[in-house]
Amino acid sequence: MIRRLKVPLAVGLMALCMFAHEALAQTQPAPQLANPASVRCIEKGGTLRIERRPDGGQYGVCVFVDNYQCEEWALFRGECPAGGLRVTGYITPAARYCAITGGRYTVVAKSGTADEQGSCALPGGKACDADAYYSGTCRR
């Protein structure tokens, strides 16, 4: 009697395994394509850190040795040098953001204070108030 049950039991067990495998394959998320700017950051020896602008928008910062930094897309486009920029001299987050995104920051008022105001000359020639650029109201 036990011999008669072995074959149906084995077939049932195989069917159960196949069903479980198919169900597992359907529940796993599809692989997603990597962000090419993030990949470039890692390839250049940086580590990626996600930061948030005042408007809630997120951006990736590629951090290199000695805290040199580039915004990941500026690095990808060649607007920020491999190995990053020294960011310790920037007083405001807007000034730092301007620099790491490939812009040229210029102080226009209240130099060296937390209320420092500046302008950001972007690659391609457009200029923005640094705070407006950082907050997302002045776009490239």
Q: What is the residue-level pLDDT of the chain in tens, covering all 140 positions?
A: 555 555 555 555 455 545 555 654 566 665 666 899 999 999 999 999 999 999 999 999 999 999 999 999 999 999 999 899 999 999 999 999 999 999 999 999 999 888 999 999 999 999 999 999 999 999 88
Q: Please name every residue paired with 20 in a beta bridge, in sequence order, or none if there are none.
A: none
Range of the domain at 118: 36-135
**C-alpha to C-alpha distance for 140 and 133, rounded to whole angstroms:** 8
Asked, for residue 4, whether it belongs to a domain, the answer is no
* Site of tokens 């940086």: 46
Q: In what order do the strands lie in the sheet with 127-129?
A: 104-109, 117-121, 127-129
Asked, for residue 57, whether it belongs to a domain, the answer is yes
**C-alpha to C-alpha distance for 16 and 10, rounded to whole angstroms:** 10
Asked, for residue 17, whether it belongs to a domain, the answer is no
**pLDDT score of 76:** 98
CB 60 within 8 A of CB 71: yes
Asked, for residue 1, whether it belongs to a domain, the answer is no
Asked, for residue 26, whether it belongs to a domain, the answer is no
30: Cβ contacts below 8 Å, ≥ 6 apart: none
Overall number of domains in the chain:
1
Asked, for residue 48, whether it belongs to a domain, the answer is yes
Asked, for residue 6, whether it belongs to a domain, the answer is no
**pLDDT score of 18:** 55
Q: Kind of pairing, strands 127-129 and 117-121?
A: antiparallel
67: Cβ contacts below 8 Å, ≥ 6 apart: 87, 88
Closest CA to 121 of 92, 137, 136, 99: 99
Which pTM does this prediction carry? Answer: 0.75
Kindly report the number of other CB atoms within 10 A of residue 12's CB atom: 10
Asked, for residue 19, whether it belongs to a domain, the answer is no
**pLDDT score of 17:** 46
